[in-house]
Structure formats: structure tokens, C-alpha cells
Amino acid sequence: MSDLPRKAVTRTAKLAALPLGFAGRATWGLGKRIGGKSAEIVTRELQQRTAEQLFRVLGELKGGAMKFGQALSVFESALPEEVAGPYRAALTKLQEAAPPMPTRTVHSVLEERLGEDWRELFLEFQDKPSAAASIGQVHRAVWHDGREVAVKVQYPGAGEALLSDLAQLSRFARLLGPLIPGMDIKPLITELRDRVSEELDYGLEAQAQREHAEEFADDPDVVVPDVVHQCDQVLVTEWIDGIPLADVIADGTPEQRDRAGQLLARFLFSGPARTGLLHADPHPGNFRLLPGADGGEDAECWRLGVLDFGTVDRLPGGLPETIGTCLRMTLGGEAETVYELLCAEGFVRETIELDPDAVLEYLLPIIEPAEADEFTFSRGWIRTQAARIADIRSPAHQLGKQLNLPPSYLLIHRVTLSTIGVLCQLNATVRLRDELESWLPGFLPEDDEEVVAATVHA
């Protein structure tokens, strides 16, 4: 296996082959149809070939290309079933694995960053990586004090590769768009680029992970491994076992799915309230389902292990109170007040005037999970929402085009959508309202008038 391709010309050539490949397969498909094959069979074959090429290239390149693939993977559940089938296996592969760095490269990085005697820091070190991600790979080891640890080693040239890939992918955004119907790919790529420098900085990641580990140290539901050692390009944390969430999605029992979904929702909303940080990379590869602290296998005792704090959103006051207030008032049918809040926060531009009742009608189906005591997230439900917004003939599509997403809400929005995507992949039944009432500021009607007045007149 070769090193991470570092030369821009090499990476650009690989990525440039993607749209050419798409065009070539379209021509191939036309020929097949002329030759007598049914359109349905040809479409399935085209999708399979496209998936194989796309994710083979993304996986080989790692860097920004693979990061883009991981970001796409959580939206897989929004695809129509006839499209999702061929992509599902290829998407899932990106969440847990990628071609590894050669052992000599790993040793070289460790020697450069930890010193010539780096092996003395470990009682054991496994050269074969246990996981590989977009900018680094993880090796299982035993620290010199006997603790089992995960050693994350950053790919040499990862920063250069990330920026190069994402710049190149942004040029192909229009061609890649059909992968997720109804979703604008270009802003996703732009937002990923904005986070590159933070994710490359293992010092920032270590700080965010330490803060979470300290806050959740005695939590009965969430496990965050503590940081053992950190330096440039190397991060050593405590090791945790458990069932990868991708495996729960593929083969989990209904009890495992529901428990994982409940804890995922709990972590999404409780994290910012407790730490002032939002874990902003919620793809299944970053979560594990663990037995209870006493080893119990009872479903209500299972815990959620959370990994990879390279991308976080800093929210010192927790999630904005306006989100909770607006969500509750939407459920209460208070169209005028909701519209005023959205205008005040910049979701509706000053130059645009919309019908408050139409805005309420647009929002209500999306927030349906917050209304029920418990809600079953499913691929069917999210596909219905995606189709409603993507259909250019629908009022929802026309209204959605006129709404604006303020920069301060961009990452919160993506994390929330991604988490909902994972919940739908899990097909989990979740008491979402419980988590909102416990952790989301403004969702309960305390100090109602003061919150609305302060926001509208800010």
C-alpha cells in the first residue's frame, strides 16, 4: 500500500476522473438500453459502478476526499431505496476503514514526534491499524503504565491533501449533487474546508476531549475516553471496546437500536449544555455501544462511547435559546411569533417577506419527532421529508429556497441533520421530547415573554 498521495497533480487527476467516469457510464448505460436491457436494470448497474468508483477513490485518497465521503454517508438514509441500495455498503465502508499507511511511515512519524526511544513509552504496540479515518489512523497499544490506549497518528501531508481535495471537489459539486437529491453539496464542502485547520490541530482536539472526559467521567450513559498523551501529529487516548454503531445499524437488535438512538440524542443535546462544546462529527464510526458499567447486558444499562473530538463547535452558553423557544412555539402553532423570531435571527432576510402560516406549515413536518412522546425514526420518514423539500413543484421547495441559514447556525444545523440521519439508519424509537425538555434551553415555557422580547428586539 502506498503512502497518502501527496502531490496535488496526482490527487487532482484521481478526483478529475470521477466526473469523467460518471459521463462514461452514462454513455455505457445508453448503449445497454439500445441493446435491449430494461432501464431499471441499467440504472441499478450504473449506480453500483458509480458507488464503487466514487468510494474507492475517496478511500484511497483519504484527506478531504474521504472526509467528504464520511459527511455524505450520514445522509444515505434520505436517498430513495432504489438509489440507496447500491450505495449503502460503499458508504458504510468509509465510516470504519480505509487503506492504511505503511508501517514504516507510522514508525517514522512516531520517532519524529515522540523521540527515537518511542517504543519505551509502550509495553505493546500493534503495527496493524485498528481504524483509519480521513486525516489519521488508530493503532491499539498498551501505555507504559499498563493502560490500554488508542494511538492516533496523522498522515504526513494530511493538511495539504485536505485543502487540495476539497478545493477540487468544490469544482465538481454540481456533478456530485445527484448523490443526495435535494441537498446542496457546495455549502457542505465549503463548511468542511472551514474546519480543516481545527481538525489538523491535535492540541485543540485533546483539549476538547479532556473537557468532555472530565464532565462525563461518572456519567451512567456516556463514556468519553480520557487523553493520555498529545503532541504534534500524535494523540494517545484511553482505549474503549464496544460495538461500532455501523454494526448496530447493520445487524443490531431492536433494543440495541433504540438504546443507541436514545443515547445519541441525549449526547447531542446534553453535550453543549454541560461542556459548552458541540461534538460536530456525528457519523457512526465515532460511536460505540458498550455494556453497562457493571458489565450488565440489560438494554437500559448500555452506554454510548464517543470518539474523535477533532471537530467541535464552541457554544459557551450551550445551544442558542432561540432554537428551543422557536421549536416549542412552532409546535404550539404560534405562527406570528415564530416568524418574528426567525426574522430576528436572520433566517428570513430583511428584503424578503413570507407568510407566517406558510412558514409554520413548512416547519411542522420536519419537527414532528419533537411533538410525540416517542418517535420512530426511519428511512421512509426522512425520504418523505427530503422528497417534499426537493420537489421543485412543491410549496415547501419554493419556500425553502427563500429561507436563509445564518453562519452561526451552520454547524449546529449540519450536526442536527447528520444525527437525525443516523437515527433513521438505526430505525430507532426515541423519546426525543424528554431530551429536549432536559437539555435544550427555551424548550420549556419558563421566562417565555422575556426570551421572545429579548430576541425580537435585539
Catalytic residue among 165, 281, 308, 313: 281
Q: Is the dihedral of CA 192, 195, 197, 203 positive or negative?
A: negative
Whether the Cβ atoms of residue 161 and residue 62 lie closer than 8 Å to each other:
yes
Sign of the alpha-carbon torsion through 414, 415, 417, 421: positive
* Residue 184 burial (C-beta neighbours within 10 Å; 0-12, 13-18, 19+): exposed
Q: Is residue 281 annotated as part of the catalytic site, yes or no?
A: yes
Task: Name the H helices within 115-253.
Answer: 158-171, 173-176, 185-194, 196-200, 202-215, 245-251
Between CA 265 and CA 270, with CA 268 as vertex, the angle to 5 degrees is: 100
Q: Give all strands (DSSP E) within 291-359, no chain letters.
A: 303-306, 312-314
CA atoms within 13 A on the CB side of 229: 22
Contact 141, 124 (CB under 8 A): yes
Measured CA to CA, the distance from residue 54 to residue 46 in angstroms comes to 12
- DSSP state, residue 180: S
Q: Cβ distance 374 to 262 under 8 Å? A: no
Q: Collect all residues with Cβ–Cβ distance below 8 Å to 24 and sequence separation of at least 6.
A: none
Nearest to 259 by CA among 88, 51, 431: 431
CA of 77: how far to CAs of 136, 189, 250, 436, in Å? 27, 20, 13, 23
Give strand pairing partners of 236: 151, 229
Please check whether residue 275 is in contact with residue 316, taking contact to mean a CB–CB distance below 8 angstroms.
no
Q: Which residues are catalytic?
A: 281
